[in-house]
Structure 1
Amino acid sequence: MIRLDSISKQNGRQIVFIEASMALNKGEKAGLVGPNGAGKTTLFRMIAGQEPPDEGQVSVDRGVTIGYFSQDVGEMSGRSAAAEVMEGAGPVSVVAAELRELETAMADPDRMDEMDAIIERYGEVQARFEELDGYALDGRAREVLAGLGFSQEMMDGDVGKLSGGWKMRVALGRILLMRPDVMLLDEPSNHLDLESLIWLEGFLKGYDGALLMTSHDREFMNRIVNRIVEIDGGSLTSYAGDYGFYEQQRALAEKQQQAQFERQQAMLAKEIAFIERFKARASHAAQVQSRVKKLEKIDRVEPPRRRESVSFEFRPAPRSGEDVVTLARVNKSYGTRTIYEGLDLKLRRRERWAVMGVNGAGKSTLLKLIAGAAEPDSGTVAVGASVKMGYFAQHAMEVLDGDQTIFEWLEGRFPQAAQGSLRALAGCFGFSGDDVEKRCRVLSGGEKARLVMAGMLFDPPNFLVLDEPTNHLDMATKQMLIEALAAYEGTMLFVSHDRHFLAALSNRVLELTPDGIHAYGGGYTEYVARTGQEAPGLRS
């Protein structure tokens, strides 16, 4: 369906691809992986026809439709979310638009003299609309939006009033409703909660077209793809299987290449030693010359590329008292909507609570109440003795000074820390080399979130309250964070839609449902085993 033949591409001074080739065949579901800046988005844009390769060819079979979801969703306003999604539904949306124009024309008294022609055309267009199953389009659009977490009110409201994250969902819904022959999805899991993520997983499993996607959520990718395409050093390499299998195969290939490199280096050293030893002796001239020629003809084995593995040892947190937070008879409402009524909850030292619940259940509200960012209407929230709290939420980014560089901000927070330690910390969270000289005002939302997280964990509190901490982290940084927090000896309360993160770090689950609040001993893995569901209200 789609072929890339010997493509080369350079962005400014960066060489992205060098004579790279790949193919995407009918029905294949492939994951595209590679470090940040490797060229994943560039590859998508070339396949979608938005930019050409410098050399080589991108071929798409005749008649193949492509739907491309990117992080740049563009402007949306003036229409409902449902109408915006339907606008991208391929040929049927064009027919629907003409049908609306003709309906407006039929109601226009100034066009009475054209009415016969308008009515005749309306009949033709309506027949075509029925043929394309257009009258079911609204229902299908709403089904997709509901799967992505929209309420009926949000579906019918002005899309322009939605936040950036919800607009992303609308843009994704447009591609899903279109059901093209090929979907290109660039980080579709970024702005979804766990329930929407699981719904999307099911949708993509049932999709019979070809799929090429990136995602920093390894569990999500593992359940959908049957092939991995890796961008590394300008080339494209395919691995059959999911992301977990790709990691094993890549590690094995690197081990084999390292062994091959070492064997050749030993052989070369031996040959060079012989040449150096006997090059001055006439009696060995023929042998020396023969070995020199042999060395000239040898194809040199390159050592495997060393991948940057990020790791950082956080300082031990000071010990808190046994009772970290106690909530007693807490009530909380927003307007006429009751979030909590008579909530009692106690968090004890070294417990790691994963908070789960559908949209609007009150997950973020609970974290705000405990962190002191919101007040209960009645009842008490008591923080225990010697508790030093760190609260990570989206508004936490407001602590950044736009005029400071990344390094200046870290230095200002930790004036006693060594420069090397701060640079290592920045590197762990994706700011390597000259990146630390970027001013905070030019950072993206994701970069700001990573910087705040780095600042919070360098001198760790003994109680972490984290609202979606992994949202803008790539797989390597996420793994570093999981490993660091696994060794953390404090108490944690967190919300996350990343199942790998949930399973690795939780030892308690608090489930918020319309029927009440349920606490489970054991972590997320035990919760799934006991309830038969991966998220509240969803059967696995």
Structure 2
Amino acid sequence: MIRFESISKQNSHRILFLDASAALNRGEKVGLVGPNGAGKTTLFRMITGEEPPDAGQVSIEKQVTIGYFNQDVGEMEGRSAVAEVMDGAGPVSQVAAEMATLEAAMCDPDQADRMDSIIERYGEVQARFEELGGYELDGRAREVLAGLSFSQEMMDGDVGALSGGWKMRVALARILLMRPDAMLLDEPSNHLDLESLIWLEQFLKNYEGALLMTSHDREFMNRIVNKIIEIDGGSLNSYAGDYSFFERQRALNEKQQQAQFERQQAMLAKEIKFIERFKARASHAAQVQSRVKKLDKIERFEPPKRRHVVAFDFPTPPRSGEDVAVLKNVHKGYGSKAIYQGLDLTIRRKERWCVMGVNGAGKSTLLKLVAGGADPDSGTVTVGASVKMGYFSQHAMELLDGDATIFEQLESTFPQANQGSLRALAGCFGFSGDDVEKKCRVLSGGEKARLVMAIMLFNPPNFLVLDEPTNHLDLDTKQMLIQALEAYEGTMLFVSHDRHFLARLSNRVLELTPDGIHQYSGGYTEYVARTGHEAPGLRS
């Protein structure tokens, strides 16, 4: 369906692809992986024709329709979310637009002399509209938007009033409604809550077209893809299987390549030693010459490329008291909406609470109450003795000094630390070499999140309050963070829509539902087993 044939592509001085080949076949669901900057988005842009390869070609079968979702959603305003989504539904939306024009013409007295031809054309267009399922389009658009957690009011309201994250969902819904032959999704799981993520997962499983997607959510990728294409050092390497299979297979391939390289190196050393020892002896001249010719013809094996794996070791935080935070009879509301009515919660040392609930259930509000960013309307929130808190929220990223470089931000925050330790810290969170000279104002959302996380964890608190800490983090940084937090000896209260993160790190679950607040001992995996659902909004 789509083939990359010996493509090469250079971006400024960096070679992204060199004589690389791969294919997306009908019915395949492919995960595209590679480090940041490897060329994933460039590959998408080559398929859509926005960027040509420098050499080679991208070939697409005739009549194949392609839908491309990326993070740049453009301007949206002046019409409802439903209308915006329906506008992206492919040929049917063009037919609908012509119908609307003809309907207006039929009501226009100035067009009276053309009315017979207008009515005739309207009949043709209406038949085509019906054939394409146009009359079900509104219902289908609303079904997709509902799956992405839109309320009826949001569907019918001006799309321009929505936040960037919700506009992102509208752009995604346009592609899903279109149901093209091939879908290109660049980070579709960003900005989605857990309920929307699970709905999208099911939608893509049932989608019959070809899918090429990137995602920083390994669980989401594992459940959808049946093939991985990895961008690695300019090549496109294909693996049949999900992301976990790819990781295992890549590690096995590298191990075999290393063993092959070492065996060859041992053989070469032995041959060279023989040549050096006997090259001056006439009696061995023929043997020496034969071995020299043999060495010249041998194809040399390369060692596997050394992957830059980030790792971060937590310094041991100071010990807190046993009761880290206690909420008693807490009431909290916004306007006429009550969020909490008589909430009681005790968080004890070394407990790791994940907070779950649908949008608007009060997850972030709870974290703000505990962190002191909001006050209860009544009741008490008490932080225990010797508790040193670290609070990560999306708001924290706005507090960075835009005029400072990454390194200057670290230096001003930790004036007593030496440069070596600060550079090592920056490296752990993906800022190496000249990256530390970037101004904070030009950082992407993911880079800001990593910098705030680095600042918080350098001199670690004994109580971490984390609101969606994995948003924008790539797979490698997320894995590093999970491994670091697994070894962390403090207490945690967190919100996340990443199921891998939830399963690895929680040992308590607080579930916020319209029926009340439920506490579960055991982590997210036990919660799923006990309740039979992966998120509160998916109750049957």
The TM-score bracket by the shorter chain reads over 0.9
Amino acid of the residue matched to residue 492 of structure 2? M
Confirm or deny: 8 A CA contact 1:402 1:439 kept in the other structure. Answer: yes
In 1, are the aligned partners of 2:230 and 2:238 still within 8 Å (CA)?
yes
| Aligned residue number for residue 442 of structure 2 | 442
Match of 2:424 in 1: 424
1:110 CA displacement: 4.0
Residue number in structure 1 paired with 2:325: 325
Q: Kindly provide the amino acid, as one letter, of the partner of residue 14 in structure 2.
A: Q
What is the one-letter code of the residue matched to 2:50?
Q
Q: Give the letter for the 1:323 counterpart.
A: D
Match of 1:53? 53
Q: CA deviation at 1:91?
A: 0.4
Q: Which residue of 2 aligns with 1:31?
A: 31
Question: What is aligned with 2:3?
Answer: 3
Give the secondary-structure state (helix, strand or coil) at the position aligned to 2:105.
helix
Q: Equivalents in 2 of 1:446, 1:312: separation in Å?
A: 18
In the other structure, the counterpart of 1:14 is 14
SS of the residue corresponding to residue 343 of structure 1 reads strand
Distance 1:411 1:103 in 2: 66
Tell me the SS of whatever aligns to 2:488: coil
1:519 is matched with 519
Report the AA paired with residue 60 of structure 1. Answer: I
1:539: Cα distance to partner?
A: 5.4
How far, CA to CA, are the matches of 2:266 and 2:539 in structure 1?
58
Please list the CA deviations of residues 236-295 of structure 1 after superposition, one character each: whole Å capped at 9, or x if unmatched.
111111111111111111000000000111111111112222223333222222221111
1:237 matches 2:234: no
Residues 1:82 and 2:82 are matched in the alignment: yes
In structure 1, the residue corresponding to 2:150 is in which secondary structure?
coil
Unaligned runs of 5+ in 1: none
Q: Which amino acid aligns with 1:398?
A: E
Range 419-428 or range 33-42, more displaced: 419-428
Q: Structure 2 unaligned runs (5+)? A: none
Query: What aligned pairs does 1:103-114 form with structure 2 within 5 A after superposition?
Result: 103-114=103-114
Q: 1:115 to 1:506 in 2, by over 3 A?
A: same
The letter of the residue matching 2:187 is E
Contact kept in structure 2, 1:19 and 1:235, CA below 8 Å: yes
Seen in structure 2, the aligned counterparts of structure 1 residues 537 and 402 have a Cα distance that, compared at 3 Å, is: closer
Per-residue CA distance 1:302-326 (angstroms, 9 max, x = gap)? 0000111110111111111111111
Match of 2:311 in 1: 311
Measure the CA separation in 1 of the matches of 2:290 and 2:244. 47
Q: Which amino acid aligns with 1:430?
A: G
Partner of 1:537: 537
Distance between the aligned counterparts of 1:296 and 1:253, measured in 2? 27
Aligned to 1:214: 214
Alignment of 1:451 with 2:451, yes or no, is yes
The letter for the 2-side match of 1:74 is G
Over the residues paired in the alignment, what is the CA RMSD in angstroms?
Answer: 1.3
Hey, what does 1:68 align to over in structure 2?
68
Q: Is the 8 A contact 2:462 2:490 kept in 1?
A: yes
Counterpart AA for 1:115: M
- Mapped partners of 1:281, 1:423: distance in 2: 56
Give me the whole-angstrom Cα distance separating, in 1, the residues matched to 2:460 and 2:118.
70
Structure 1 CA distance, aligned partners of 2:100 and 2:331?
49
Partners in 1 of 2:232 and 2:446 — Cα distance? 23
Task: Name the residue aligned to 1:148.
Answer: 148
- For the residues of structure 1 that align with 2:202 and 2:226, how far apart are their CA atoms? 15
| Alignment correspondent of 2:485 | 485
2:306 and 2:481 mapped to 1: Cα distance?
21
Q: 1:117 Cα deviation (Å)?
A: 3.0
The answer on 1:257 being equivalent to 2:257 is yes
* 1:166-185 Cα distance to aligned partner (Å, 9 max, x none): 11111111110000011111
Q: C-alpha separation between the residues in 1 aligned to 2:360 and 2:103?
A: 39
Q: Which residue of 2 aligns with 1:338?
A: 338
How many angstroms apart in 1 are the aligned matches of 2:483 and 2:470? 13
Determine if contact 1:312/1:424 at 8 Å carries over to the other structure: no
Query: What residue number does 1:196 align with?
Result: 196
Q: Quick check: 1:353–1:507 contact (8 Å CA) kept in 2?
A: yes
Moved more, 49-58 or 354-363: 49-58
Q: Secondary structure at the match of 2:537?
A: coil
Shift of 1:379: 1.5
Q: CA deviation at 1:427?
A: 1.7
> CA offsets per residue over residues 326-352 of structure 1, 9 Å max, x none?
111211111111111111111111110
CA distance in 1, matches of 2:241, 2:398: 42
Query: What amino acid is the match of 1:257?
Result: Q
1:185-227 deviation per Cα after TM superposition (whole angstroms, max 9, x unaligned): 1111011111000000000010011111111111110001111
Does structure 2 conserve the Cα–Cα contact (< 8 Å) formed by 1:349 and 1:491?
Answer: yes
Partners of 2:115 and 2:384 lie apart in 1 by 77
**Residue aligned with 2:308, SS:** coil
Q: Distance in 2 between matches of 1:102 and 1:431?
A: 58
Query: What residue identity is the alignment partner of 2:495?
Result: V
SS at match of 1:537: helix
Instruction: Give the count of matched residue pairs.
Output: 540
Tell me the percent identity: 82
Give the aligned partner of residue 184 of structure 2. Answer: 184
The corresponding residue for 2:116 is 116
In 1: Cα distance, 2:321 partner to 2:421 partner: 30
Paired amino acid for 1:531: T
3-state DSSP of counterpart to 2:302: coil
Task: Give the SS at the match of 1:354.
Answer: strand
Match of 1:40 in 2: 40
- Paired residues of 2:449 and 2:473 also in contact (CA < 8 A): no
State the shift of 1:114 in Å. Answer: 3.5
CA shift at 1:104, angstroms? 2.6
How far the C-alpha of 1:36 sits from its partner, in A, is 1.0
Aligned positions of 1:497-508 closer than 5 A? 497-508=497-508
**1:125 Cα deviation from its structure 2 partner:** 1.4
Matched AA of 1:473: L
CA–CA distance in structure 2, aligned partners of residues 361 and 113 of structure 1:
60
- Preserved CA contact (<8 Å) 2:405 2:437: yes
